[in-house]
Structure 1
Amino acid sequence: MSLGPYASFIAASYLVVLVVVMLLIAWIVIDYRTQKRRLTELESKGITRRSQRRTTD
């Protein structure tokens, strides 16, 4: 497979896309852990989700 004179541009483009995708994955993982920690802290203080509240009619 010959990429011709544009081989360096194509390789650099793939590298940039790979780095961006890896950064997005890392960002999502870090944000997920942060949100889980915040939710655990709130639940330990007694604050619950609306869907878990009991309805008293």
Structure 2
Amino acid sequence: MTHLPYIVAAYGMTIGLAVILGTSAALRLRRARARLAAIERPSRADSRAGGASAP
């Protein structure tokens, strides 16, 4: 009896999970950067135009 099927399945599941987690992290990072850019855009325009300034 060989252990090859178990070893292949274990490696396959490990690689598959690593790919899923890596892809998920990359997508979440992309969305977070887009949200941050959308939040920062108006504040940068205000500061350049001499908008709200601290007393």
Instruction: Report the TM-score when normalising by structure 1.
Output: 0.70
In structure 2, which of residues 12, 22, 27 is the aligned counterpart of residue 30 of structure 1?
A: 27
Length, aligned pairs only: 46
Equivalent in the alignment of 1:7:
4
CA–CA distance in 1 between the matches of 2:14 and 2:29? 22
Matches within 5 A, 1:31-50: 31-46=28-43
> Per-residue displacement from partner, 1:13-41 (whole Å, max 9, x unpaired)?
00000000001110111011001000001
Equivalent in the alignment of 1:19:
16
- In percent, how many aligned pairs have the same letter? 17
Q: Which runs of 5+ in 2 are unaligned?
A: 45-53
RMSD between aligned alpha carbons?
2.0
Structure with greater helix share of residues: 2
Q: Secondary structure at the match of 2:2?
A: helix
Instruction: Report the TM-score when normalising by structure 2.
Output: 0.72
